Amino acid sequence: MNLRIAIFDDNKNIRESISLLLRTVPNFQVVGTFSHVLDCVDDVKECNPDIILMDIEMPGMTGIEAVKVIKGQLPHVQILMQTVFEDDDRVFDSICAGASGYILKNHLNTKLIDAIKELQFGGSPMSPSIARKVLNKMQSVSSAIKPEEAPDYHLTPREKEVLSCLVNGLSYKMIAADLYISYETVRSHVKKIYEKLHVASLTEVVAKAINQRIV
Amino acid sequence: MNLRIAIFDDNKNIRESISLLLRTVPNFQVVGTFSHVLDCVDDVKECNPDIILMDIEMPGMTGIEAVKVIKGQLPHVQILMQTVFEDDDRVFDSICAGASGYILKNHLNTKLIDAIKELQFGGSPMSPSIARKVLNKMQSVSSAIKPEEAPDYHLTPREKEVLSCLVNGLSYKMIAADLYISYETVRSHVKKIYEKLHVASLTEVVAKAINQRIV
DNA sequence: GATAGTATCCCCACATTTGGTGATTGATTA
DNA sequence: TAATCAATCACCAAATGTGGGGATACTATC
């Protein structure tokens, strides 16, 4: 079974030399090379690659934007960024856009072949410095990854509904109208919420609800 | 210049075989092997390694907790997780604790040597499946990584102070007391904030302030 | 069949917030 | 020097939220 590869790079020499290199590998098949990504979705649909090598700097639209649109329409395609840039912004933007690997252009040849093979078998090849950046980033956003488990305040479903209305800025009246209950019922729920969250004002409720992701 | 390596693993055979393996590499120096991490900080201070190989499952304290305390006290040490576990929790916990690499135990020998060398030169070696997990995680928390740049509401410093008081649940009166200004002045600031944020209630202010990280 | 919990509703009195309009001072800037 | 803006303070009237009661109906669950 052949591995179908497409290449997006605005530099003709690079396209051709990568193409030549990959053709020497058994089972690798270069099914398309493109100098820009303006028609990338059509191009990709046309040549139907398993893996895409994507440069970043290209005329008209960047490779990062291309990753986003391609993954949006063809999520099964694996995309390997291959670029000279290693600034945080471009690295993380690429990854968030959906790239499955990121290698730098400085040391080509065998590394590239290994990277493609790694990608083929479910890995995510990254140049060493990129991998380090990624791990450091993970650590710096660890609060988003491992949210310290929010205490459970045992809010009832209805109370949670009311709470989320409050967080959306609705007044008691509006909540009453929204949930088809009376103003006084809203008050009852809010009182309960105050008790359960140990707070004494709407602002505290909202702050606590958002910060502890209760909503 | 030698590379000093310490090994934490509760399995004696593994400690010894890794130790033997690493001793065959020029410039590698195994400076300590330990069967548990209960005294890890002392152990590490004692043998002063550049790189630590850390298993996860050990008696008394897990390798992940050990990473946390070691990195807390000796942040310059590079720690390479080396384990059989590849569940998301342990992987991300290890990384968030401060590990600089994560490789699986199934394919030892040369891979391990390469990983240590990669770590030595500022990389973050990961087994392919681990790297994939990490990239996927990055994508799933992309909102935390690339917060869509909050619009600037041109709040004055004083207004920001008042705003953060509001977010902390203080009433107008309390804010007045806190900032040594009159109740009416607080009101003026709040009115301005309402205008600038285009909202009409405290709850909306608080929600917007927190969600858009204005505070 | 008693108990506990949820969801619904009501009243009173008081506190707080809100929407107006308007004013003074000092600093910065055009 | 005139204009702008931040920061301060004031008053009025109306709307909204808060704290304390209490009540009913329905579901579970023991």
pLDDT reading at A10 higher than 80: yes
pLDDT reading at B44 higher than 90: yes
Report, as an integer, the average pLDDT of B102-126. 89
Give residues 105 to 144 of B whose Cβ lies within 8 Å of A: 118, 121-129, 131-132, 134-135, 137-139, 141-142, 144
Q: What pLDDT is recorded for position A108?
A: 60
Report how many Cβ contacts below 8 Å link chain A to chain B.
132
Q: What is the pLDDT of residues A39-62, one digit of tens each?
A: 999 999 999 999 999 999 999 999
Q: What is the overall mean pLDDT for chain A? A: 93
Report, as an integer, the average pLDDT of B152-180. 94
The alpha carbon of residue A38 is apart from the nearest alpha carbon of chain B, in Å, by 24
Helices (H), chain A: 12-23, 40-47, 63-73, 88-97, 110-120, 128-140, 142-145, 157-167, 172-179, 183-197, 202-211
Q: What pLDDT is recorded for position A107?
A: 66
B189 pLDDT band, cuts 50/70/90, is very high
Yes or no, beta carbons of B131 and A128 under 8 Å apart = no
3-state secondary structure of A39: coil
Query: CA distances (Å), A16 to each of A10, A19, B138, in order?
Result: 11, 5, 33
pLDDT reading at B120 higher than 80: yes
Longest distance between any two alpha carbons in chain B, whole Å: 77
Q: What pLDDT is recorded for position B107?
A: 66
**Side-chain half-sphere exposure of A164, counting CA atoms within 13 A:** 11
Yes or no, beta carbons of B206 and A201 under 8 Å apart = no
C1' (C9) to CA (A179) span, angstroms: 14
Distance CA B125, CA B137 (A): 17
- Decide if B134 contacts A130 (C-beta within 8 A): no
Q: What pLDDT is recorded for position A213?
A: 82
| Cβ-based contacts of B129 with chain A (< 8 Å) | 122-123
Distance CA B41, CA A129 (A): 28
- Decide if A102 contacts A94 (C-beta within 8 A): yes
Containing B66, the helix (H) or strand (E) segment is: helix B63-73
pLDDT reading at A174 higher than 90: yes
Q: What is the pLDDT of residues A131-169, one digit of tens each?
A: 999 999 999 888 777 766 778 889 999 999 999 999 999
Distance CA B112, CA B107 (A): 8
Containing B163, the helix (H) or strand (E) segment is: helix B157-167
Q: What pLDDT is recorded for position B109?
A: 67
Q: What is the pLDDT of residues A88-118, one digit of tens each?
A: 999 999 999 999 999 998 766 678 999 999 9
What type of residue sits at position A183? Y
Q: What is the pLDDT of residues B15-42, one digit of tens each?
A: 999 999 999 999 999 999 999 999 999 9
pLDDT reading at B141 higher than 90: no
pLDDT reading at A81 higher than 90: yes
Yes or no, beta carbons of A167 and B203 under 8 Å apart = yes
Question: Can you read off the two tokens belonging to residue A133?
Answer: 């950046």
| Cβ-based contacts of A98 with chain B (< 8 Å) | 139
Report, as an integer, the average pLDDT of A65-77. 96
- Decide if A207 contacts A195 (C-beta within 8 A): no
Q: What is the pLDDT of residues A182-194, one digit of tens each?
A: 999 999 999 999 9
Distance CA A34, CA A11 (A): 9
pLDDT reading at B81 higher than 70: yes
Q: What pLDDT is recorded for position B143?
A: 73
Distance CA A127, CA B118 (A): 10
